[in-house]
Amino acid sequence: MNARRGLVVVVVALVAIFAWLLWPRPDAGVQAITLSRPRADLPALRSTRPVAPADQAPPEPRSELADQLNSPTGNIQSDLRVVQNLIDAYRSNFRENPIGTNAEITAALSGKNRLHLALLPRDHPAINMKGELCDRWGRPFFFHQLSGTRMGIRSSGSDRTMWTADDAVLDP
């Protein structure tokens, strides 16, 4: 009988503690302040930031690393270096290369990563409709994972055919 009574006391105590933990309590450190009318002795607050129209989203923060990609003043070698710089910047933040297909790597560089870090704008002209990062001739780059910290990048070149003599390759 004493064991049963002890068990009942323990169960009731546990239920009471559980109820106390889950019971909603007002925050003691937060006080609501309401002003029934504006005070004449306080200046009106105005924002110094421009406000975007309601139908327009504010611009996303962006990196300037990709600005020179496929630039008319550059060449394929400079484009490969820009892509390598994007991958290096990704690696410096995540301690590894982005992995997967061209579209998956492009998505990771464009902010689809655990930090939502966009090194490449999603609307960059070098990204095709399939979400792939393309060279100056509109052909997707080929990414070859050499190790966790090294990635080879290949462009099909001006003939737009991969694995021919005019391919441009950057193996770090």
CA distances (Å), 55 to each of 51, 52, 58, 62, in order? 11, 8, 10, 21
- Spans in the chain with pLDDT lower than 70: 1, 18-62
Domains of the chain: 65-170 (3.30.700)
**Which of these, 75, 82, 80, lies nearest to 158 by C-alpha position?**
75
Residue range 42-57, pLDDT digits in tens? 444 444 455 556 666 6
Q: What is the pLDDT of residues 58-80, one digit of tens each?
A: 655 667 889 999 999 999 999 99
